[in-house]
Structure 1
Amino acid sequence: MKKSLIIYLINFFVITACAQESKSINSDAVNWIPYLTKNGDYIYVDKNLKQQINTSFAYAQKFTETGYAIVSDKNRKDAVIDSYGNIIIDYTEESISLNTINNLTLIKKELEYDKKMPVWKWDWNIMGGDIKKSQTYKKTEILVLETNQLILSEDVPYDEEDFNIGYYSFDGNHILMNDNLYEIKNNKFKKLKSNIDRALDKGRYIPTSSEKFNIHDIKTKKPILADLVETKKIEVALNKQLFVLDSINQDRYAPDVPKLLQNLQTKEIYIYPEYDKAFPKEIKNVSAEQLAFLKDVSLVYSVNNSPYFILGRFNYDHSVWAYDWLYIDQEGNVLDKINVKDFFILDRVGYLVWPDKHMILPKNEIKKYNKIGKISSVYNNENLYIINTCNEQNGEKKGLWNIKTNRWELEPIYSSIQSLDSKNNIYALKKEKTEAYILFNLKTLKQIGDKSYDFIYSNGFAHIKKPNNEDLYFYIDIKTGKEYRD
């Protein structure tokens, strides 16, 4: 016990001292690139290929905006260096990842190991005669690199909960990470609440509950909506009679937070995904056709930052899985169309359910294809959609459609389209499944460079396989096609 304490204190002071030495970082480091040399190791260079750190590594990642990077040795052990090449976290068997927030660096260290179990937890294989006396565990720690503040320390079985350093930011000082709400003040993380199931917009969130749910705001201690309960139906007045929308928003697996929450006192119902407004208690001016539609509604969504709700009726006549749509505003008016931006309904694998192909493509384009398949929006560009098509001539292909100009930016002749930089219109394209990716500038409609790659990530990390089947991993400048390798 004393030995462990001494080792901990030594490590604490070493890491703290290193962190203090690295407070004055080189701000240019965020622009340095790991360069693959002919020897198979990596050095850090600037845009002009001038070496910046006089050390080479078996592998190296880009620097964070706070001036730290993960490097690896030939034994595949990770370490963390600062912008002067100093080792801040020594090479370790633990896997390491970094993230930044508010000019602070979050570091996650994770180690898998076999843990001997007590006899009552042994895995007895009666048929095989084998007894498994240990179980794989993972130990996870999350710290702030600059201050050495320990945010999380967990030791759990391998197949149980994962912990990470991804976070949802409510504002500049409040984040949700690993189901915990933190306030960041004076470079310190203060845990305000635990067991939060869902983050909402405008600083709101829903804590974990099994029966009654509350909606909280990060600025207030008391809930802004309390004692909400799950309901499976919506009761409204229609033509002075009670009308019930039931069998709606049903999932194969029950979500942690129900998609319909009702206040038992006011009878108001708040709807997924943001639970930001109550569904109207009366539906007005409904035609016979709209009434028939309402009777078969199975999907109800609330469109945040708008007065609208989306109603979906599954259309069994379609050759592909699809819905028909109707809309209601907060006043109960039924609408055939609405105009909203940056709102999507996605299926479980991230493809669009709403808006659907009929809202995105004109009829003459739809008729050209035997099938319009999965559709996905381009991140940070509300006008562009990657659309799967199928016809007898080309088979299954993807294209890039511009809903504003009503034309194909990229004709559907590609097996894969990946948006790497939507701001600068840079894409990775692959025509056939057996081919490699090329870089393409959508603005100039020209290929970037003359090389192709097995994969390219948005940060420029790429892979190719040499004729001798050797794997090469290196970085490229996706704007110019410049490769950082010998």
Structure 2
Amino acid sequence: MRVNRHYRLQLFMAACIFTSCMNPAIEIKAQAPAASPKIHVMIPYLNSDGRLNYVDRDGKEKISERYTHASPFISKGYAVVGNEGGETAVIDAQGKIVEAYADQEIRLEVFGGYTLMMTEVEYEKKMPVWKWDWNIMGGDVKKTTTYVNVRIKVLETQQVLLKEDVPSDDATYSLMVYELDSSRFVLNNALYQIKKGQIKKEKTGIIVILDNGRYFTSSGNTFTLYGVKDKNGIASGLQSTDRLDLKLGEGILTLDSINQERYAPEIPKLLKDNKTQDVYSFPQYDKPFPSEIKQGTAAQMEFLKEVSLVYSVNNSPYFILGRFNYDHSVWAYDWLYIDVKGNLLNEIQVSDFFIFDQVGNLLWPDRKMLFGAIDMPKDWRVGKIKYVNASPEMYIVQVKKGEEKPTWGVWDTQRKDWTIEPSYRDVNLLNTTKQIFSLQQEEEGDYFLYDNLKKAPVGNKSYRSISSDGAVRVKSAEGNEEWYYIDILTGKEYKE
């Protein structure tokens, strides 16, 4: 398997996804990891020959070896590098190879003082005759299938956590670590614990991670909710439902077709305990929905009959009820609220809680809540809201100005004003603390860095793309794509 250096560099910067796997429980005996080496910040530096070595922030050479591609160092002092043969390896902070070059993809992740390394190697596997791929029209017969050897191990101890050979189409393992507490983590749907120098796989079949160390497992269409230290389950026998039966006076009000979506989520957004008849709601399933409406106005009762969206608000006694508003020119809801006692409310006061649609656009709080009574120009219309930064409360907002193409800006709900005017084709937040953004002025144009605290551009260069870790993409004079790193706080480029 040969992958070009530009694609590999993109892989280094790509996020993994949480995927499924099932493996027998194993126990890994591992020595306590050594303390992380004290290393200077080392950054891949692109030389004029197209190869990279490592320098410090001032550009002083730290590792002289040249590589065809190189990733930033992780906190434990390791980085992934590549050679001219398209192979990858892992080096330490002194440039010493700790995982030999091979024709493989490598990813690194740190948890609990250990470095987890995942490698993937493609190969062709001979198949039995009944699995041959017969091309009747062309007369060809494909007797092999592409497989991937996936291995995950602890780099410091060489202890193997996972080793599987799977068809390439089913190679859905990842190195995304979900922390439950300081010693427990979930990796590829399995729960591990680090204890007294041992890494032990405690449970498999975990499908969803919640707040406060809670998680779900499933068996068929039945779900069980666990706490991080709970072996028997907080709630078991939970099953999917799309209806709520609410006692209203002497009768029953049934809400059906609740939380229906085009693409089914991994876990239903309403779960019912058939023993207690309690119904628990997405996203944290932390409290049962009230079984009886205790108080509400006539208008609220009419609203309730048309509710199609129910969310539980974390760390509060409230639920959010949504009624789709067919009069809006964009996807939107009207809102009502209910507390755990069954009282209907027209508004609630909560913070740091958001509802997104399946493509990541903000539904709640909606545009009316964000902009309040602020007067917009008559021909301006607020569209999608694609990102939320809760502190300070800034929202990246799309605006349609008359017949012009939509543009983006940043709205500050505390100041009730645009902190970045909605005049850009795209806006991305790269650093929350320093408020560094990448802005695209023209459609299909390059991006430049912008310091929102200083209200000034950072540097004088622009790029096809800019990542939060400083990786940038440009087009060379020959029209080829080139990747290298910059300091997003200063604009300094690490290239010759």
Q: Does 1:309 align with 2:319?
A: yes
Determine helix, strand or coil for the equivalent of 2:301: helix
Give yes or no for contact 1:369–1:389 (8 Å, CA) kept in 2: no
Greater Cα offset, 366-375 or 242-251? 366-375
In 2, Cα distance between equivalents of 1:469 and 1:139: 36
In 2, Cα distance between equivalents of 1:393 and 1:411: 18
Question: Which residue of 2 is the match for residue 432 of structure 1?
Answer: 442
Flag the 1:304–1:123 CA change in 2: closer, same or farther, 3 A: same
Q: CA deviation at 1:48?
A: 2.1
In 1, Cα distance between equivalents of 2:376 and 2:417: 12
Flag the 1:380–1:182 CA change in 2: closer, same or farther, 3 A: farther
In 2, Cα distance between equivalents of 1:362 and 1:196: 42
In 2, Cα distance between equivalents of 1:341 and 1:328: 17
The percentage of counterpart residues that share the same residue type is 44
Greater Cα offset, 133-142 or 253-262? 253-262
Of residues 415, 428, 435, the one that matches 1:405 is 415
Q: Does 1:130 align with 2:140?
A: yes
1:105-139 deviations in whole A, cap 9, x for unaligned?
A: 11110012221211111122333333222212111
Q: Does 1:76 align with 2:89?
A: no
Of residues 246, 267, 280, the one that matches 2:290 is 280
Q: Which amino acid aligns with 1:305?
A: N
Unaligned runs of 5+ in 2: 1-29
Of residues 321, 324, 328, the one that matches 1:318 is 328
Unaligned runs of 5+ in 1: 1-18
Give yes or no for contact 2:429–2:437 (8 Å, CA) kept in 1: yes
Flag the 1:24–1:333 CA change in 2: closer, same or farther, 3 A: closer
Q: Does 1:180 align with 2:190?
A: yes
Q: Does 1:467 align with 2:477?
A: yes
Give yes or no for contact 1:380–1:422 (8 Å, CA) kept in 2: no
Of residues 145, 160, 163, the one that matches 2:155 is 145
In 2, Cα distance between equivalents of 1:173 and 1:148: 19
Flag the 1:24–1:199 CA change in 2: closer, same or farther, 3 A: closer
In 2, Cα distance between equivalents of 1:185 and 1:368: 63
Question: Which residue of 2 is the match for residue 235 of structure 1?
Answer: 245
Give yes or no for contact 1:378–1:419 (8 Å, CA) kept in 2: no
Question: Which residue of 2 is the match for residue 248 of structure 1?
Answer: 258
Flag the 1:266–1:115 CA change in 2: closer, same or farther, 3 A: same
Within 5 Å, give how 1:158-197 maps onto structure 2. Answer: 158-197=168-207
Of residues 120, 131, 140, the one that matches 2:130 is 120
In 1, Cα distance between equivalents of 2:403 and 2:440: 18
In 1, Cα distance between equivalents of 2:468 and 2:178: 21
Flag the 1:26–1:49 CA change in 2: closer, same or farther, 3 A: farther
Structure number with the bigger relative contact order (C-alpha 8 A, sep ≥ 6) is 2
In 2, Cα distance between equivalents of 1:403 and 1:199: 31
In 1, Cα distance between equivalents of 2:241 and 2:107: 41
Q: Does 1:52 align with 2:59?
A: no
In 1, Cα distance between equivalents of 2:274 and 2:69: 58
Q: CA deviation at 1:284?
A: 2.1
Of residues 22, 25, 28, the one that matches 2:39 is 28
Q: Which amino acid aligns with 2:250?
A: K
Q: Which amino acid aligns with 2:39?
A: D
Flag the 1:25–1:319 CA change in 2: closer, same or farther, 3 A: closer
1:162-201 deviations in whole A, cap 9, x for unaligned?
A: 1111121111111111111111224432111001111111
Q: How many aligned positions are there?
A: 466
The two structures have a TM-score, normalised by structure 2, of 0.90
Of residues 396, 406, 411, the one that matches 2:406 is 396
1:36-75 deviations in whole A, cap 9, x for unaligned?
A: 1222221211122221123222221111110101111122
Q: Which amino acid aligns with 2:38?
A: S
Cα-Cα RMSD: 1.9
Question: Which residue of 2 is the match for residue 441 of structure 1?
Answer: 451
Q: Does 1:92 align with 2:102?
A: yes
Give yes or no for contact 1:215–1:225 (8 Å, CA) kept in 2: yes
Question: Which residue of 2 is the match for residue 342 of structure 1?
Answer: 352
Q: Which amino acid aligns with 2:482?
A: L
1:417-436 deviations in whole A, cap 9, x for unaligned?
A: 01100111101111112321
Of residues 268, 277, 280, the one that matches 1:267 is 277
Give yes or no for contact 1:394–1:413 (8 Å, CA) kept in 2: no
Q: Which amino acid aligns with 1:277?
A: K
Determine helix, strand or coil for the equivalent of 1:289: helix
Flag the 1:436–1:427 CA change in 2: closer, same or farther, 3 A: same
Flag the 1:252–1:392 CA change in 2: closer, same or farther, 3 A: closer
Determine helix, strand or coil for the equivalent of 1:358: helix
Determine helix, strand or coil for the equivalent of 1:248: coil
Give yes or no for contact 1:416–1:431 (8 Å, CA) kept in 2: yes
Question: Which residue of 2 is the match for residue 7 of structure 1?
Answer: none
Question: Which residue of 2 is the match for residue 361 of structure 1?
Answer: 371
Q: Which amino acid aligns with 1:28?
A: I
In 2, Cα distance between equivalents of 1:159 and 1:473: 28
Flag the 1:209–1:368 CA change in 2: closer, same or farther, 3 A: farther
In 1, Cα distance between equivalents of 2:392 and 2:251: 41
Give yes or no for contact 1:149–1:188 (8 Å, CA) kept in 2: no
Flag the 1:226–1:470 CA change in 2: closer, same or farther, 3 A: closer
Q: Which amino acid aligns with 1:300?
A: V
Give yes or no for contact 2:389–2:395 (8 Å, CA) kept in 1: no
In 1, Cα distance between equivalents of 2:376 and 2:143: 60
Flag the 1:218–1:24 CA change in 2: closer, same or farther, 3 A: closer
Determine helix, strand or coil for the equivalent of 2:300: helix
Give yes or no for contact 1:180–1:193 (8 Å, CA) kept in 2: yes
